[in-house]
Structure 1
């Protein structure tokens, strides 16, 4: 296989934000599963990710992917203290909604709905956008996440104040920042490498 761009035509690509499972296809050739070396598998962190064309594309640089994946897992799964998982996922969903990353928004919206049991509110965020009213606490998380995501970012003291006023402590505020900042970057990477596709 070559490294050339493949730019496959996607029939009926998803064009609306959804909590349904959708696919993703790269514009560059990922490694095939039978090309993966032990170092590639180690870089994936989870061997099951070898099924994903996205991770098989990123694993061309296994050192960077390994660091990226461990950072991702620590931000979203290390919930022994700080922000509840649902609101970490809300921060990622808000960043993805603002950035226009339909695939990432679908993934993190499902997690936010599952962990919060507020599926209708999560869907409202997807349908109406980041200005919709979700209540004081969620509004503060969304506003801070969007401020970090804007180009250039406009995150400032007022967002910290808003999060604190909504009841978040310092560790929880840090988790909002980590979740939004990571997906601000991750969305832009995914948007530059491929596009969403209908579910297989």
Structure 2
């Protein structure tokens, strides 16, 4: 792993997420609940997040399909840049857990953490080049004022080389984590491996 970064309550360390409400118990789960957990993520059976969402297996199944299509579909926006957009929205919304996950994914894909450090400090202006800065700025603006996206904001992305499909991928990445952040912020809390709370400042 790269150097540990801690800033404003955010970190690139691996965190856990503890649900405040009851999660399903595997020994009492239905066959469909077990099936959707197995479909969703390799660690779903030990994750409070998935064990909570599995109360509604059909919704979890739809969520996982949408997530996989947005974050992992081939072509379009490079994976690292999808993670950058997701990192920015998570930083602005104060979702420490999601920010840690996307910081790690960005580092793994981009092979560096300089942009992560910048996003933790301030999402506006983050990025090592014009393209990253435009992605971070647009992601921040879309997060804070989603109803006010303008043609000029889209043009700014085109001006640094994003294609129409790449812009669409970026919008989808920001949108799904605007939703996921709110879910995680309202239903549980991030914790470090020692059980201590991880909170944005």
**TM-score bucket (shorter structure):** 0.7 to 0.9
What TM-score does the superposition give when structure 1 sets the normalisation length? 0.87
Q: What CA RMSD, in Å, does the superposition of the two structures yield over aligned residues?
A: 1.7
- Deviations along 1:153-197, one digit per CA (max 9) or x if unpaired, are 432212211110110001111110010011011101110101111
Question: Among 55, 58, 69, which residue is 1:60 paired with?
Answer: 55
Matches within 5 A, 1:59-138: 59-79=54-74, 81-126=75-120, 128-134=121-127, 135-138=129-132
Gapped regions of structure 2 (runs ≥ 5):
1-6, 195-201
Q: Equivalents in 2 of 1:94, 1:183: separation in Å?
A: 10
How far off is 1:83 after superposition? 0.6
CA contact (8 A) 2:86 2:177 kept: yes
Matched with 1:33 is 26
Q: Equivalents in 1 of 2:119, 2:155: separation in Å?
A: 22
- The 1:139–1:153 alpha-carbon spacing in structure 2 relative to 1, beyond 3 Å, is farther
- Deviations along 1:116-155, one digit per CA (max 9) or x if unpaired, are 12312212211x1212341211111112212221255432
CA contact (8 A) 2:92 2:123 kept: yes
Aligned residues: 185
3-state secondary structure, aligned to 1:24: strand
CA contact (8 A) 2:76 2:166 kept: yes
How far off is 1:30 after superposition? 0.6
Q: Equivalents in 2 of 1:152, 1:175: separation in Å?
A: 16
Gapped regions of structure 1 (runs ≥ 5):
1-13
